[in-house]
Structure 1
């Protein structure tokens, strides 16, 4: 590893997290400090987690982790005391930098028990104002190779923080690929996904967080069923939060049997009656794989009690009717990316 120092903010003595270190002037111009991760040893460190660990706690501004092309295996945990991190893939496209792990809900832990759904995440983001660009997050847990696993939920990314941006990123998995959450039920955390690709089969975009998917591709994988090839969303938005998941100018694709994929079902964690899913899909293209009645019940919880709606969708999977709630023009004018993301601080990460 090359010895480039990380100066913690305010540490005029030059003592950083890795001992007495000195950042060269060029290392502060990305903007701010940065580290380079390279699996082949040509960077500062060889693993993503090692780079995160070197970022000073309480980091006050943008700190970039440049990631050279490669496949980086192992869990990555970004704690709440390390905000403003940027993961920037250095490849020509997001497929050249892959952050991946392969544990599932039912995978045994070394210390006993199993990982659980949250613990299965390849990447967990608890630091606010995180952003990622031009890379892939994956959980490649192999369901077919692990038939005895009791829980097959295998999360690629779990978000728990506010003001997160994912730009030109891919999220790969099967069940529970992308878990958009928050620190607690009373906290409304926001995430913005721009020109991203998300794939999976069962509830593969889920959680209580607020998320905008702008010009994204949402791809349903084939479970080889002629009747049910899964569910795209399983929002658990609290009733106090008017904004759950918004998909705008996006494409819903899938090479599965026509009419066999549901757009969503309402998740009530621990049977919480206040977890009322809120999901809007608007101005988007729906493939033929979408079920003509695209919202469905989750156990005893009826989809009709959730907050589901569509607006001006197109494509072979688009329709209207009693099973396809539609926004009015006035409602659509109020349910925009800006409204979902603004919060109380006027946040607007779009560009």
Structure 2
């Protein structure tokens, strides 16, 4: 999050002749992520500021001082949908980014959910809710971010003054470095937000406090320690504590909106802001509409007010003392008071953009694809898109097993616009080490990209010419509209070990190579794709399309269906495949089915062949309804029966025990 220095765009002394529409349009023209937060994205001398993942946002104001507040940054990102998971991760000793998806009803009614240090709790989209429960920070808790949530409905009927229960939305005692941002609090059992007993370095921003008696209290101490920033909040349909600040060392309130105050005839305890005890309070560019006692101060306190707008107000408007200068502590930007109602109504409370799936941009946010992968937290349980701009990225990329749920997305018009390429042969790192891209994680998708290994096997004489463009070992891997370029061993779809089944789905893609260029033991479906068998200049043997090493306990190896094999190799010079038994493993028994796929004249009449002493006839090689000049029915070409074909569909290969069905997505 970027904060302007002391120079203001439009402050209290800005042009008063602007209409509300003009000012709102001007402010809204700033970056969406900043306009409602008292901040703005801008171009700097170093170039444009790019948006960071929302769960890595850091606090502004007092919460940014003395080491700052980054919550669970660097910890695992988890998504919770039930109370047990929320309680478990919120109280854990290690850092977590906890994404709350949907509504979590807390039981028993009014129960505390304890939040330990180094946590970010953030609602998914704008629908993350905690109902009937309180987030509670015990003494000593440090570095907590709570964002984008609705916390509601622990109110006990008839207890308007909150005297029989203490069911706050958030309560904290003697904590430090807390950021409360973009939440909605309503209809709770006592206060909505209670910041108590010497808590320090707090920022409360962009929240909605609605339909309640006691909105937001600070203090419950005789010590004068708390430093707090309160900005861009909307208090509507509340009666008191909007906020009440008791014995705060520094309370900075700016660009808040207090409106539609509850009116029950109470001449004292219906009010807006109150500087109590020995608090030093500064109020700037806020907006009060229909408020009794908009701001007031004890005789022992200090209150400085500048630039605010008061409409239909009555009662006390106290201002005395010098308080303090907030800019001596941190930089911030004031929005004009006239724009506050429109801005706060639009941008306060939960926002879809904050809790949405995260997108990392290459090279705008990260200079390389690997750098973007490195930025994804280990154990990531939430979708992360790595959007790769058109260009050629000469690098090797590893998505480790601990970083699932990643989408690699090329953003060009064509898959050829965005290329990840390297040129390492197997002799310089083994077949795995040669891979340009390795995907060890599960639940990874790649779209609209080209993966290439451009090692020139003709230029250098090596003992082994394997040079992988892609190797996968994870489960539930999807490639859509992708290209794999290489020669020997272009695409390897594998699993962590022989008897572990991983699944890979390739659709609407292009694969080229010569020797064993589609190989491995993963259950792999290639659908609606083009497979190009490259010529090595031989008139008799130019290579092998497949080299499967399927575990004998797995009925499903490679399915190539509704696709087209093309080649410029001489007629009868290419094999459909051979059985690979890595290290002589007898339980690796290839299963390959070419189904409803066109075959060129380059395919041999006897297209299967032995490998390393293992006969092809012991493998599970079949064709079903292949067509084209390379398709024949002979004794050397096993054909799958109609009955077996019924159980060898795309769904049979991929569904597994979890019902995975990537083929159903469009």
Fold conserved between structures, TM > 0.5: yes
The residue that corresponds to 1:241 in the other structure is: 554
Aligned residue for 2:525, secondary structure, equals strand
Count of equivalent residues: 334
Name the counterpart of 1:127: 441
Deviation, structure 1 residue 51: 0.1
Aligned to 1:54: 375
Query: TM-score, length-normalised on structure 1?
Result: 0.91
What residue in structure 2 maps to residue 185 of structure 1? 498
Distance of aligned partners of 1:28 and 1:178 in 2 relative to their CA distance in 1, 3 Å threshold? farther
Structure 1 position 85 matched with structure 2 position 406: yes
Give the TM-score normalised by structure 2.
0.49
Counterpart for residue 357 of structure 2: 32
SS in 2 for 1:234: strand
Corresponding position of 1:4: 52
- 1:1-351 to structure 2, matched below 5 A, reads 2=50, 4-5=52-53, 6-7=55-56, 8=77, 9-10=97-98, 11-12=119-120, 13=144, 32-38=357-363, 43-107=364-428, 115-147=429-461, 149-351=462-664
Distance, in Å, in 1 between the alignment partners of 2:403 and 2:354 is 17
Rounded Cα–Cα distance in structure 1 between residues aligned with 2:516 and 2:410: 27
Runs of 4+ residues over 4 Å off in structure 1: 24-29
* CA apart distance, 1:28: 5.3
Q: Distance in 1 between matches of 2:524 and 2:411?
A: 26
Work out which of the two has the higher radius of gyration on C-alpha atoms and give 1 or 2.
2
Deviation by residue 1:189-248 (Cα, 9 ceiling, x = unmatched): 000001110000000000011000011111011100010010000000010010000011
User: Structure 2 regions of 5+ residues with no counterpart?
Assistant: 1-48, 57-76, 78-96, 99-118, 121-143, 147-178, 182-346
Deviation at 1:74, TM superposition (A): 1.1
CA shift in 2, pair 1:27/1:227, >3 Å: farther
Paired residues of 1:176 and 1:200 also in contact (CA < 8 A): yes
- Residues 276-297 of structure 1 show CA distances to partners (whole Å, capped at 9, x for unaligned) of 0000001110011111100011
SS at match of 2:546: strand
Shift of 1:150: 2.0
Q: Aligned with 2:501: secondary structure?
A: coil
Hey, which of these two has a bigger chunk of strand by percent?
A: 2
Conserved in 2, the CA contact under 8 Å of 1:212 and 1:247? yes
Secondary structure, counterpart of 1:81 in structure 2: coil
3-state SS, counterpart of residue 497 of structure 2? coil
The question of whether the paired residues in 2 share the 8 Å contact of 1:27 and 1:33 is answered with no
Indicate how the Cα distance of structure 1 residues 28 and 142 shifts in structure 2: closer, same or farther if over 3 A, else same: farther
1-structure distance, mates of 2:616, 2:626: 20
Select the structure with the greater relative contact order (CA < 8 A; seq sep ≥ 6): 1
Segments of 5+ residues of structure 1 without an aligned counterpart are: 16-20, 108-114
Task: Give RMSD over aligned pairs.
Answer: 2.1
Q: CA deviation at 1:146?
A: 1.5
